[in-house]
């Protein structure tokens, strides 16, 4: 038993002995019966564990568990609740201050609450018709703070709300098209509507939908102005366009209580729709430029200067990873700062400066 081979104890295994068993041909015993048990010869080579194979105890430690730092997700239902709550607080404060200081504002009065709500919305959307304006220094100071807070509020919270609604709409459209393709239902315009590789709607469709919403808002505003404010068709279209684009010359405005109540809702939605449409237009131009640059980068011939610039390690040749990094930098998808941040993170994991991240490195960083 002293000569029995030992299984190496490296990589988390405990050493133990492997019994040697000899094998003999069956021989009849002197009484003519077979042996009660067979014997096997010892193995010519001792059993050794592969040095590169990780121990099972280590592998069990690396099973995926709950993430300590979950990836931040863009948009959630909490954005809708926050936007609604803060909008109500903002409008309540503005309506209360206006209602108790009506004599400090100039303009045509219709109904105290409706006028106050109308003034708050016009101020927050930065339209500024001028039909209701502060006249005392107290109300002017209030208007300064109110417009600054309202401008930041509508830009952050309400834009987040619009993004959430549009993202939900985009996810529903993408899910519907994917489910239809999974069932074998062909949708001819599917490739034109969505980009399944990127998992999003095509930017040209977003621009079209946003512009369609803007035209719809202008049309609804024109009809209301024509029938409620007794304006001609030209003045109705004129005031609707000046309102949704937040120009607000002030030569035309809402004067009836019904019209101002409608404007409180319509202006809030239409100005956001116009801002989103122009944002999509800018995004479409940038996306088109990026695609043109990427096509040029991928199809142009590599030069000696490119080889020298891409050879980060000064080996005299370009590896596949170096080529990928160089092309991504040339496309403008990553910058030198991004690469340095990733390299710093790699160096933290590579505690032994071996140029690679090994299993012991991961265990050492996790402990």
pLDDT digits (tens, 9 = 90+) for 21-65: 444 444 444 444 444 444 444 444 555 545 555 544 444 544 554
Across the range 71-80, mean pLDDT stands at 55
pLDDT digits (tens, 9 = 90+) for 105-153: 988 889 889 999 999 999 888 888 988 999 999 999 999 988 888 877 7
Residue 262's pLDDT band, with cuts at 50, 70 and 90, is very high
Based on the fold, state whether residues 264 and 124 are members of the same structural domain: yes
Statement: residue 340 has pLDDT above 60: yes
Across the range 149-174, mean pLDDT stands at 69
Which residue among 272, 296, 320 closes a domain? 296
What's the number of CA atoms in the CB half-sphere (13 Å) around residue 154? Answer: 23
C-alpha 268: how far from its chain's center? 25
Statement: residue 71 has pLDDT above 50: no
Asked if residue 226 belongs to a domain, the reply is yes
Which residue among 254, 269, 296 closes a domain? 296
Query: Is-above-0.85 flag for pTM?
Result: no
Asked if residue 281 belongs to a domain, the reply is yes
Based on the fold, state whether residues 139 and 92 are members of the same structural domain: yes
**Structure-model confidence comparison of residues 191 and 100, the more confident one:** 100
Based on the fold, state whether residues 352 and 261 are members of the same structural domain: no
Based on the fold, state whether residues 149 and 241 are members of the same structural domain: yes
Residue 220's pLDDT band, with cuts at 50, 70 and 90, is very high
Based on the fold, state whether residues 257 and 351 are members of the same structural domain: no
In this predicted structure, what is the pLDDT of residue 195? 60
Residue 158's pLDDT band, with cuts at 50, 70 and 90, is low
**Structure-model confidence comparison of residues 84 and 55, the more confident one:** 84
Based on the fold, state whether residues 342 and 290 are members of the same structural domain: no
Asked if residue 243 belongs to a domain, the reply is yes
Q: Which residues contact 261 (CB under 8 A, 6 or more apart)?
A: 114, 117, 118
Asked if residue 206 belongs to a domain, the reply is yes
In this predicted structure, what is the pLDDT of residue 283? 81
Domain, as residue range, for 285: 76-184+199-296
Based on the fold, state whether residues 172 and 320 are members of the same structural domain: no
Based on the fold, state whether residues 178 and 219 are members of the same structural domain: yes
Based on the fold, state whether residues 222 and 266 are members of the same structural domain: yes
Based on the fold, state whether residues 126 and 220 are members of the same structural domain: yes
Asked if residue 54 belongs to a domain, the reply is no
CATH number at residue 97: 1.10.287.70
Length of the chain: 367
Based on the fold, state whether residues 92 and 121 are members of the same structural domain: yes
In the chain, how many domains are there?
A: 2
Which residue among 269, 296, 323 closes a domain? 296
Asked if residue 64 belongs to a domain, the reply is no
Asked if residue 23 belongs to a domain, the reply is no
In this predicted structure, what is the pLDDT of residue 170? 66
Statement: residue 226 has pLDDT above 90: yes
Asked if residue 154 belongs to a domain, the reply is yes
Based on the fold, state whether residues 338 and 272 are members of the same structural domain: no
| 51-60, 88-97, 189-198, range with the lowest pLDDT | 51-60
Return the percentage of the chain with pLDDT > 90, whole number: 19
């Amino acid at each position: 038993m002293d000569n029995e081979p030992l299984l190496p104890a490296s990589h988390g295994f405990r050493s133990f002995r492997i019994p040697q068993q000899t094998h003999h041909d069956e021989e009849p015993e002197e009484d003519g019966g077979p042996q009660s048990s067979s014997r096997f010869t010892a193995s010519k080579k001792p059993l050794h564990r592969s040095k590169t194979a990780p121990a099972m105890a280590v592998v069990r430690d690396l099973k995926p568990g709950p993430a300590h730092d979950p990836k931040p997700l863009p948009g959630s239902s909490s954005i809708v609740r926050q936007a609604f709550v803060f909008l109500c607080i903002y409008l309540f404060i503005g309506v209360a201050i206006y209602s108790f200081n009506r004599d400090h504002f100039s303009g045509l009065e219709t109904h105290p609450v409706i006028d106050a709500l109308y003034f708050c919305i016009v101020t927050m959307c930065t339209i500024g018709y001028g039909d209701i304006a502060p006249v005392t220094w107290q109300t002017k100071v209030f208007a300064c703070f109110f417009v600054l807070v309202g401008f930041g509020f509508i830009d952050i919270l309400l834009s987040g709300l619009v993004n959430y609604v549009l993202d939900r709409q985009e996810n529903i459209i993408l899910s519907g098209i994917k489910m239809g393709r999974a069932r074998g239902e062909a949708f001819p315009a599917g490739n034109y509507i969505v980009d399944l590789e990127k998992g999003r709607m095509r930017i040209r469709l977003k621009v079209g939908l946003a512009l369609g919403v803007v035209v719809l808002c202008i049309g609804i505003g024109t009809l209301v102005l024509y029938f409620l404010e007794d304006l001609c068709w030209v003045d109705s279209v004129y005031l609707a366009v000046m309102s949704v684009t937040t120009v607000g010359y002030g030569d035309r405005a809402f004067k009836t209580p019904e019209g101002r109540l409608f404007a409180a809702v319509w202006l809030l939605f239409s100005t956001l729709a116009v801002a989103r449409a122009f944002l999509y237009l800018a995004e479409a131009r940038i996306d088109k430029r990026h695609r043109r640059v990427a096509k040029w980068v991928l199809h142009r011939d590599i030069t000696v200067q490119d080889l020298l610039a891409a050879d980060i390690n000064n080996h005299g040749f370009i590896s596949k990873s170096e080529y990928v990094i160089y092309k991504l930098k040339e496309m403008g998808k990553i910058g030198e700062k991004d690469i340095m941040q990733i390299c710093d993170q790699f160096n933290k994991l590579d505690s032994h400066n071996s140029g690679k991240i090994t299993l012991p490195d991961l265990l050492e960083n996790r402990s």
